Structure 1
Amino acid sequence: MTLSLKLYLFLLLGLFTVAEPTAGVAQEARVSKWPRGVTYEIFVQAFADSDNDGIGDIRGMTARLDYLKALGVEGVWLMPINPSPSYHKYDVTNYYDIHPDYGTLDDFKTFIREAHKRNIKVVMDLVLNHSSSQHPWFLEAKAKKDSPYRNYFVWAHKDDPQVQTKGKIIAGDSDNVNRWNKLDDSDYLYYSYFGGGMPDLNYDNPDLREEVFKIGRFWMSEVGVDGFRLDAARHIFPDDRAKDNHRWWVYFRNEMQKVNKEVYLVGEVWAPAEVVGPYMQGLPALFNFDMGGAIINAVNSARADSLVFKHRKIRSFYQSVNPAYVDATFLTNHDQNRIMSSVNNNIDKAKMAAALLLTLPGSPYLYYGEELGMRGKKPDEYIREPFLWDVAMKDKVRSKWISPRYSTDSTVVPASRQMADKSSLYNHYKALIQLRNNSQALSYGEVEALETGYPEVCAFVRMTEQESVLVLHNLSSQEKTVQLPSTYSVYSKVEFKNKKASVRNRLVQLPAYSSLVLSR
Structure 2
Amino acid sequence: MKLKTAALVLAVSVAAGSLAYKSTVLSENSFEGSDLPFEWHNANVYFVITDRFANGNRNNDNSYGRPYKDDSGYSAGTFHGGDFTGLTSKLDYIRSLGVNAIWVSSPVEQIHGWVGGGPMGVYQYYAYHGYWPLDFTSIDANLGTVEDFRTFVTEAHKRGIRVLIDVVMNHSGYATLKDMCDFKFGRTVGNVDPCSKFIPDVEAGQSYHNKPIDASEDESWNRWWGKDWIRFDGYGQTCGAEDSIDGCLAYLPDFKNSDPNANEVSIPVFLQEKWEHKDKLHDIPAAIPYRKGQMSVAQFEAHWLASWIEEFGIDGFRCDTVKYVPQKTWKLLKELSENALNKWRIANKGKDPAANWTDPFYMTGEVWGFTNDPEDRLGYASNGGFDSLIDFYFNPDGVNLNTCIIPDPDEWKRYAQMYGREDSKVKLGNLTYISSHDTSLCRKKDMEKAAVMFTLMPGAIQMFYGDETARENDKGGGIDLEQGMRSDMNFPADIINADKWSANVGRLSSEYSSNKVLSVWQKVGQFRLRNPAVGAGAQYSLGENSFCRIYQDKAKGIDNRVVIHLGESDKINVSKCFANGTVLQDGYTGKEYRVINGSVEIKSEKLALLEIKR
TM-score normalised according to structure 2 size: 0.58
1:249 CA displacement:
2.2
More displaced stretch, 357-366 vs 141-150: 141-150
2:302 is the counterpart of 1:213: yes
Aligned-residue identity in percent: 20
RMSD (Å), alpha carbons: 4.6
One-letter amino acid of the counterpart of residue 335, structure 1 = D
Q: Is the 8 A contact 1:308 1:449 kept in 2?
A: no
Q: 1:211 Cα deviation (Å)?
A: 1.0
- Correspondence for 1:201: 255
What is residue 32 of structure 1 aligned with on the other side? 37
Q: More helix per residue: 1 or 2?
A: 1
Q: Which residue of 407, 421, 432 maps to 2:524?
A: 432
Say whether 1:191 aligns with 2:247. Answer: yes
Residue 227 (structure 1) aligns with: 316
Deviates more, 1:150-159 or 1:372-381: 150-159
How many Å separate the matches in 1 of 2:131 and 2:534?
A: 34
Residue of structure 1 in register with 2:83 after alignment: 57
Taking the aligned partners of 1:49 and 1:313, their CA distance within structure 2 comes to 43
Match of 2:103, as an amino acid?
A: W
Equivalent position to 2:485, from 383, 386, 389: 383
Give SS of 1:286's match. strand
CA distance change for structure 1 residues 440 and 92 in 2, over 3 Å: closer, same or farther?
closer
Spell out the pairing of 1:496-511 with structure 2 (5 A cutoff): 496-497=587-588, 511=605
Tell me which residue corresponds to 2:448: 351
* Structure 2 counterpart of 1:373, from 470, 486, 493: 470
The Cα shift of 1:469 comes to 2.2
- The one of 137, 143, 151 equivalent to 2:228 is 151
Residue 280 of structure 1 is matched in structure 2 by 381
SS in 2 for 1:150: coil
Deviation digits for residues 325-348 of structure 1 (CA, Å, limit 9, x no counterpart): 543233222222122x2x1xx2xx
Corresponding position of 2:416: 312
1:345-372 per-residue CA deviation (whole Å, 9 max, x = no partner) reads: x2xx322222223323223322112222
- Counterpart in the other structure of 2:440: 337
The answer to whether the 8 A contact 2:392-2:433 is kept is yes
In the aligned structure 1, how far is the partner of 2:184 from the partner of 2:427? 39
Return closer, same or farther for 1:151/1:365 CA change in 2, 3 Å cut-off: same
Q: Report deviation, 1:277.
A: 5.0
| Aligned partner (choices 130, 135, 138) of residue 171 of structure 2 | 130
Instruction: Measure the CA separation in 2 of the matches of 1:139 and 1:124.
Output: 30
Secondary structure of the residue aligned to 2:135 is: coil
Q: Tell me the residue number matched to 2:334.
A: 253
Q: Which residue of 2 aligns with 1:445?
A: 537
Q: Distance in 2 between matches of 1:57 and 1:159?
A: 39
Which AA in structure 2 matches 1:314? Answer: M
C-alpha distance in 1, partners of 2:300/2:19? 54
The aligned counterpart of 1:460 is 547
Aligned pairs, how many?
424
Please identify, of 213-222 and 489-498, the stretch whose mean Cα deviation from structure 2 is larger. Answer: 489-498
Distance 2:576 2:303 in 1: 55
- For residue 167 of structure 1, what is the aligned residue in structure 2? none
The aligned counterpart of 2:361 is 263
C-alpha distance after superposition, 1:271-308 (max 9, x if no partner): 13248852122111322323667995345xxxx35212
Distance 2:577 2:151 in 1: 51
Question: How has the CA–CA distance of structure 1 residues 23 and 422 changed in structure 2, closer, same or farther, with 3 Å as cutoff?
Answer: farther
Q: 2:564 aligns with which of 465, 471, 475?
A: 471
Distance 1:21 1:79, change over 3 A: closer
SS at match of 1:280: coil
Structure 1 Cα separation of the partners of residues 492 and 426 of structure 2: 44
SS of aligned partner of 1:333: coil
What is the match of residue 48 of structure 1? 54
Q: C-alpha offsets along residues 139-161 of structure 1, whole Å, 9 cap, x if unaligned?
A: 6796448788312223699999x
Alpha-carbon distance, 1:422 to partner: 4.6
**Structure 1 residues 191 and 149: CA distance shift in structure 2, 3 A:** same
Q: Give the 3-state SS of the residue equivalent to 1:260 in structure 2.
A: helix
Using the alignment, how far apart are the partners of 1:387 and 1:433 within structure 2?
19
**Counterpart position of 2:144:** 103
Q: Output the CA distance in 1 between the equivalents of 2:255 and 2:455.
A: 37
Q: Distance in 1 between matches of 2:532 and 2:152?
A: 30
Could you list the runs of 5+ residues in structure 1 that have no partner in the other structure? 1-12, 164-170, 181-189, 237-244, 396-418, 453-457, 475-479
Contact 2:47 2:103 in 1 (8 A): yes
The secondary structure found in structure 1 opposite 2:586 is strand
Change (3 A) 1:335 1:450: farther
- Contact 1:360-1:447 within 8 A present in 2 as well: no
Report the alpha carbon displacement of residue 377 of structure 1 after superposing the two structures with TM: 7.6
Alpha-carbon displacement from aligned partner over 1:65-95 (angstroms, at most 9, x marks no partner): 2322344322221112232342323111121
For 1:518 and 1:289, how far apart are their aligned partners in 2?
30
Pick closer, same or farther for the CA change 1:152–1:390 going to 2, 3 Å: same
Say whether the 8 Å CA contact 2:570–2:603 is kept in structure 1.
yes
* 1:280 maps to amino acid: A
Q: Deviations over 1:191-248 (max 9, x none)?
A: 311x12x222112353101111221232122344333211111211xxxxxxxx3333
Distance 1:22-1:117 versus aligned 2 partners, 3 A rule: closer
Cα distance in 1 for partners of 2:46, 2:584 equals 30
